[in-house]
Structure formats: structure tokens, C-alpha cells
Structure 1
Amino acid sequence: MKKHVLLVDGMALLFRSFYATAVHRNFMINDRGVPTNGVNGYMKHLLTAVQTFEPTHIVCCWDMGSQTYRNELFQAYKANLGDPPFELIPQFDLAKEATEELGIVNVGLKGFEADDCIGTLAALYQKEARVTVLTGDKDLLQILNEHVTVALMQKGIGNYKQYTKALFEEEMGISPKALIDMKALMGDSGDNYPGVKGIGEKTALKFIQTYQTIDRLLENVHELTATQQKKMQAGLEDLKISRILAEIKCDVPLSCPIDETKMNINPERAASMLRLHQIKGIEPMVKRISEIEIS
């Protein structure tokens, strides 16, 4: 059987899990005073995905601090997000510990985002394996190709919209790589980069459907309305920096040989860790996953 790598966006799983219960202030604090709600949900998402996709290999990718090369390029990048909630902070390390005790490799590199690590590993592993990316972040759709699928988490646990390159192109009318130029034009309020002021998602998509790339759009800018031409002219510098910020780097200098990522759940180590930190309801899932035979 051909290798199948599951690349997990650990940040997306943990944030989604934390906020799903934090809204009711259900932080599941253990006897050491450490909240575990995010880790509890994270583990459920992770183990459910393993059961669903049955990968032969698996890696979990993480941000390593809030500052990356994107902040050096554009100081306001993600500046609107603020600090994470107090109750979430200790759960970053706890989630990584839980992942490691399962027998799953954690990957992250200072100065880069989890998305960049995922893009780099996908580019590396697709040479010898089928790759599935598990995330809630639509930005990762830009790395879709014939060998890489993106499973976008939907509401609830175990619900995914699985994007192939063909499905993306059918829905959007552009190539996955063209999503970078589309995002550069429209900007991103979540990541706090501007795009071209006055160009929204619908117009940005229409431009890329028509011209395929920003370069071809600029070559034919005379075909736009007078108002659109003014917007493009005024926003050229913001457009340039936004394109750099929108693109996921697929050449991050990290090393994680595929042979070191083989799926090998360790139920005893995981159970011991879960009991130590009083993360409840996960042990039966670990046991079931550990019994899956991976060819």
C-alpha cells in the first residue's frame, strides 16, 4: 500500500477545541489548576481523524511563538489578534506533550507558521506518498495538487469537507495557486493585511477568474472600470506586500524524514499521560486507534 501521510494543523485543532467549550467557561481544570478543555477536544479531533483517514504516517505542526518573518515584513500582521486567553496558554505545551506521548511527531520552526511547515512537508512527502492535510484554515487550499488533499473541519467532531484540486477548481473557477493572488487582492481581516482597498472577495475572485494572475491583471488594468483602475493604482504597494503575506512557504528549512513519522500509537504511554493530567474520556479512543492495523 502506498504511504499516506496525515499532516495535522495542531493550532487549528487546539483553538477550535478550546473555544468550543470556553464560551461556557467549561475549562475542565485538573487538580493542579491547569485547564484541559482545549487538549481534551484536540485529542478527540486528532484521534477521530486518525480513525477516519487511517494514515500510515502522521505529523502534527505548530506555530512557535507569535512572531514570524511575516511580522518583519509587515508589522501589523495579526496585530489585531491580541494575546491568547490565560486559560489557553498552558495548553499549548500540554497538547504537544499529549501528541508526543501518543507516539506522533511534533514539528514547528521559530519564525514560521504551522501552515508553512505543513506546506513544506507536503511538498517533500508528496514525492513518495499521498498527503492529507487536516485543518480548519482555508488558506491551506492553495497547496492542493494531484497528490495533496485538504480536509477542512466542519462543525462537530469527525465532519470534514475534503478538497481535491479538481473540486476546488470546480467550485472556484481558479487554480489552487491562484488563491494566493485572490487573497492578495482582497486582503485578510483575520490576519490583518490590507489587500487593495475597495476590492472585496467577489471582485477579487472575478479578476483572477478572468486574468489568472495579478501580473496579467496589471498588464490589462486598462480593461477595468475607471474606479477599479484608481483602486488598483492606489493599492499597488499594499498588493505587493499582501501577496507575500498570503503565500504559504513550501521551502522552510526543517528536517523531518518520512520514515520518522510512521504511525505507531503507544496506548500505554498515552494512557499514563492522560491520567497524570486528568484528561478524561480519551483512553478508549486511544485503545481503539492502537488496534487499527496499518499496512
Structure 2
Amino acid sequence: MRVLTFIDKETQHSVLLVDGMAVLFRAYYATAYGGSVKRTRTGVPVNAIHGFLRYLGDAVQRFKPSHVACCWDLGSTTFRTADYPAYKGNRPEAPDDLIPQFELIKEVTESFGIPNVGVPGYEADDCIGTLARRFKSEAAVTVMTGDHDMLQLVDERVTVAIMKKGHGNYALYTPEYLMEERQMTPAQIVDLKGLMGDASDNYPGVKGIGEKTAMKLIREYASIDGILDNLSLLPATLRGKIEADLEMLRLSRQLATIHCEAPVAMELADCLWKVDLGRAAAKCEELEFRDRLRWIAG
């Protein structure tokens, strides 16, 4: 059995935490836009998995992690839907050709020695936040995602790699880059969402306050608490909007906050990336991805 272990004992550990659903959906739509979905000879749709492995291959070549884990949502019911039943309630059903790939991709990542992480009642974001907080004292952490909500996790030991158009293109958010680009700290990302809401997650924030006004308020008063402490200084119309929506403001901030203490049973050693080339090759052959092993394992 030939095994590749991606770690240099002379250097510091580095962890790649993959936002599985974000990458899989991105891969699906990037490869299905022409209406033709790649399938195996037996008719199994595999275009999203095919694209996922290409994105993953680009990431491991770029970031050269010694440890890798992939985090997944485990259904639509979470503690957030318990707090606000309409949370993400506006999202359409997944395309029929994508649905069978949800479980199949986990078999594929597992065949590459990548553990799949998910906790009932929590989102992948919460698992990623929990692992980033847990691992950052032992390793440099990179979060691979397309979700800007993850910017709240940025710190000196956690870089959030936001996927951009094309393969291998990322905006790499460190505290310095976030401040340079948005003049905001990671913690202020949460308060920004609390004020303006999030249409994709279907929570409203304060009615009548959009991104431009929300950013101005956060930059001027530092936080939602700072804004509330200085309501008397705001124009009457703006003050009225906030006062009328205080309960939703607090709930929206709560919904936007990534929970970094999810019950994830994983330590750093559990996601040491070791690829059993025979097992990985067999899975690639099964799904007719004859070139994907080379992309991932080099």
C-alpha cells in the first residue's frame, strides 16, 4: 500500500478547512451552465464532484496543507431555524442532478484521506469556526469558501480564502487585508450583517438600512452596541428605523454569528492528510476521473 503524507516535519503545521457545500455548489453551476451535465457511463451525474476535485486540487497546490478537513451542512434544520423559522427559507431546491452528488462527494473526499465533518443542528460554518479556533494555536489555518460571512473568523492565525471566478483565484483575507479593503475588523462583519440583514440567508436586519448606511454606522460607532449607546446623535429618521426594529436587529446579529463551540469531535491529528494512492485511484476509476488523482496528489 503506497501512502503519501503531506507534511514536512521541518516546518509548521498548516490546515486547510474546506466549506464543502459552498465549493460543491460552485462546482456544479460552473460546469452545468451549458445544460450538459457530465455523467458516468452508467448515468450517474458527477459534474459537481469533478469540479470540486479541480478546485480542491488547485487549493492544495496553492496552500500546501499538512492537514485537511471538509465541513458539511447536515440538513436544513439548525439552532438558527429554531430561533427564526424563516432562516434560509427562501432558497430553491437543489437541482435534481446535484442531489445524488451530495453523499457521493463525501465518499470521494474520504477516499483521499480527508475527514468529513458535520454536526446535526449546526451549519458547516459553525464546524469550520470551531475547528479554526481549536487548531490555530497549533497550526496556521486557511478556510476555503465562497461565503463572505466567514470573514468574521479572520485573525492573525486564520486566513479566509474567498474563491473568485476561475480556478486558483482567491481573495486572501487577513486582518490587514480586511481593514484595507473594507476598513472593518472581523468582529464588525457580524454587526454589519445584524444591521443590513442577509437576503441569501433570509433575515432582514433593520428595515430600510442597506449596506452603505450600515457600513457608515459601524465605522463611526464601532459596533451595534456603540450605535445603540449613541442613538440620540443619529438623524431622527434613522434613529426611528433602528428603534422600530431593535428585536430583529439583535436576532439578526445572533443569526449572523458563527458558533465556534460546536460539538465537533476532532483534533488536529485526526485530519493529517495521508492519501492511500490505491484507494484514491480506485475511487477515481469508479467515477471515471482518471486525471483527478494527479491533480490532488501531484
Length-normalised TM-score, structure 2: 0.94
Tell me the equivalent position of 1:155.
Answer: 165
Distance 1:77 1:286 in 2: 36
Distance 1:159 1:216 in 2: 37
1:77 has 2:93 as partner: no
Compare 167-176 and 226-235 and name the one that shifted more. 167-176
Counterpart of 2:74 in 1: which secondary structure? Answer: coil
Tell me the equivalent position of 1:266.
Answer: 276
1:33 has 2:43 as partner: yes
Tell me the equivalent position of 1:5.
Answer: 15
Q: Is the 8 A contact 1:267 1:286 kept in 2?
A: no
Pick the aligned partner of 1:249 from 228, 249, 259: 259
Deviations 1:116-163 (A, max 9, x none): 100000000011111111111111000101110011111111111111
Distance 1:231 1:152 in 2: 33
Deviations 1:201-247 (A, max 9, x none): 01101111111111110110111111101100111111111011100
Corresponding letter in the other structure for 1:72:
A
Report the alpha carbon displacement of residue 182 of structure 1 after superposing the two structures with TM. 0.6
Identity %: 48
1:223 has 2:243 as partner: no
Corresponding letter in the other structure for 2:40:
N
Distance 1:216 1:241 in 2: 17
Distance 2:290 2:91 in 1: 30
Counterpart of 1:151 in 2: which secondary structure? Answer: strand
Query: RCO (CA 8 Å, sep 6+): is it higher in 1 or 2?
Result: 2
1:115 has 2:93 as partner: no
Length-normalised TM-score, structure 1: 0.95
Deviations 1:22-65 (A, max 9, x none): 22122112133221000000011011101110011111111011
Counterpart of 1:25 in 2: which secondary structure? Answer: coil
Q: Is the 8 A contact 1:40 1:280 kept in 2?
A: no
Change (3 A) 1:221 1:168: same
For residues 1-295 of structure 1, what are the structure 2 equivalents within 5 Å? Answer: 1-288=11-298
Deviation above 6 Å: which 4+ runs of structure 1?
none
Counterpart of 2:186 in 1: which secondary structure? Answer: coil
5+ long unaligned stretches in structure 1: 289-295
Change (3 A) 1:140 1:287: closer
Report the alpha carbon displacement of residue 280 of structure 1 after superposing the two structures with TM. 4.8
Counterpart of 2:264 in 1: which secondary structure? Answer: coil
Corresponding letter in the other structure for 1:18:
Y
Counterpart of 2:274 in 1: which secondary structure? Answer: coil
Corresponding letter in the other structure for 1:209:
R
Counterpart of 1:265 in 2: which secondary structure? Answer: strand
Counterpart of 1:244 in 2: which secondary structure? Answer: helix
Counterpart of 1:89 in 2: which secondary structure? Answer: coil
Q: How many corresponding residue pairs?
A: 288
Report the alpha carbon displacement of residue 107 of structure 1 after superposing the two structures with TM. 0.5
5+ long unaligned stretches in structure 2: 1-10
Distance 1:84 1:28 in 2: 17
Distance 2:91 2:28 in 1: 16
Q: Is the 8 A contact 1:270 1:286 kept in 2?
A: no
Distance 2:111 2:255 in 1: 34
Report the alpha carbon displacement of residue 21 of structure 1 after superposing the two structures with TM. 1.8
Corresponding letter in the other structure for 1:257:
E
